[in-house]
Amino acid sequence: MGPNGQGKTNLLEAIYYLEIFRSFRGAPDEQLVRFGEEVFRVEGRIAGADGSERTVAAAFQRRGKRKKVSVMGTEAERFADAIGGVGVTIFSPSDVGVVAGSPGERRRFLDILLSLAVPSYLPALQRFRQALVRRNALLRKGAPPLQVAVWNEGLATSGSRVVAARRHWVAEHEEAFRERYEEIAGGQSGVLGYEPSFVLPENAGDVMRLADAFRTELDRVAEREQRRGMTLVGPHRDDLRFSLATEAGPLDLRTYGSGGQQRTAAIALRMVEADTIRASREQDPVILLDDAFAELDAERSARILAWIERQPGQVILTAPKASDVEVRGGSLPRWTIQGGEITPG
C-alpha cells in the first residue's frame, strides 16, 4: 500500500525484471537506474513447490550499457537461456495499451509470452529479426531485387515458425479468453483473433506449407517493397484482434470499446497468460497486480478478486489505500511503501 509515486510499480517491475531481464513497461535499462547512481542490481530467491530454492540476479551498468545475468551464482552466457526462471504474470493499468494501442504492443505481448512458453520460439524470432534488418537495409538503399531476394529464404523459414506459434496459441486459447471475458463482464462475450499479414494455407500448422505461402507473398509484393523501401509481409506486420460479440457481429474493441471493456479484455488476456505459463512450466506463476482495479466498476472488480482468491500460487497486489482491495477480510500480510522504502504493516 502507498500513495501514487512512492514506488509500488517499481517493486513489481523489479520482480518481473528477473523473468525477462527487461522492463515490463518497455523502458530502456538506463531509465531503471536510480537517479544519481550508475548501477542497479536486483536479486530474487525463488522457492519451488518441491522445497527447492534457486537464486536469479541481474545487474546493469549505465556506463557502457553493460548487463549481467546470473542463475545460482553462475553468469548466463546468453540471456535467452535464463529467461522465465521465475514464472510471473503481471497485471498493470498500462495493459489496456495491448488492446487499444498500436499493433506493435500486441506483437510484443505475443513475443514475450511465447518466448517464455515455447522453447523454440525465441530462436526463431531472433533469426527472423536478423534477416528482416538486413533485408530492410537493402530495400532502403535501393539494392537490386536479386540482392534483396537473397534474404527471402531466411525470412520465410524463421518467420513461418513465428507465425505458426502465434496462430496456434491464439487458436488454442480463444475459448479461454471468451470465458475469462464473460467471467469479468458478467455475461458479455469477448473474442480473440489472429490477423496475419498474408493469407495462410488451410493447414497453417504445417510450417513448410506456411513458409511456401510466405515466399509466394514475398514474390507478389516485391515490386511494391522496392518502391516503399521496406518489407511488407511477415510476422512484424501481424496483429491480434479483440472484439465484443454482439447480435450484429463482432465489434472491434480498439475502435468502439469503452474504457471498461478494453480494460476487461486486457485483464482477460493476462488471465489466459497465467494459464499458459502454468501449463508450460507445470508450476503456478507468481501473479503481480499493479492497481488492477483502476477504471473498473465495483462488480467487475469483485469478479477479479474472486478469480484471485482461486489462484493457488503467490499473488502480490498493490493499491493506493487498503480500502481499494478487500481480500480475505483484510487478513493478508500488508506492507507500506513510502519514498521507495518498504515496511511491514
Write the pLDDT tens digit of every residue in 220-275. Answer: 999 999 999 999 999 999 999 999 988 888 899 999 999 889 999 999 999 999 99
**Average confidence (pLDDT) over 57-69:** 95
Angle, helices 8-20/103-117, rounded to nearest 10 degrees? 60
Q: Is the pLDDT of residue 329 over 70?
A: no
Q: Tell me the average pLDDT of the chain.
A: 92
Task: Give the C-alpha distances (Å, rounded to integers) separating 186 from 93, 324, 344.
Answer: 21, 21, 36
The architecture CATH gives domain 1-87+287-345? 3-Layer(aba) Sandwich (3.40)
3-state DSSP call for residue 164? helix
Residue 342 sits at φ, ψ, to 5 deg, of -105, 130
Q: Can you say how many angstroms the Cα of residue 30 is from the centroid of all Cα atoms in its chain?
A: 21
Asked if residue 267 lies in contact with residue 290, where contact means CB atoms within 8 angstroms, the answer is: no
pLDDT per position as a tens digit, 137-156: 999 999 999 999 999 999 99
How confident is the model at residue 313, as a pLDDT?
Answer: 86
Q: Is the pLDDT of residue 293 over 70?
A: yes
3-state DSSP call for residue 266? helix
Q: Is the pLDDT of residue 66 over 70?
A: yes
Task: Give the C-alpha distances (Å, rounded to integers) separating 136 from 106, 118, 188, 214, 319.
Answer: 22, 27, 43, 16, 45
pLDDT-wise least confident of 71-75, 126-130, 196-200, 244-248: 244-248
SS3 of the chain: helix, strand, coil, percent, to 5:
50, 20, 30
Whole-number percent of the chain with pLDDT over 70: 98
Please report, for the chain, the start and end positions of each structural domain, with discontinuous segments joined by +. 1-87+287-345
Question: Which residues, in sequence order, are bridge partners of residue 74?
Answer: 71
Phi-psi region of 132 (alpha: psi -120 to 50; beta: other; left: phi over 0): alpha
How confident is the model at residue 204, as a pLDDT?
Answer: 64
* Banded pLDDT at 169 (limits 50, 70, 90): very high
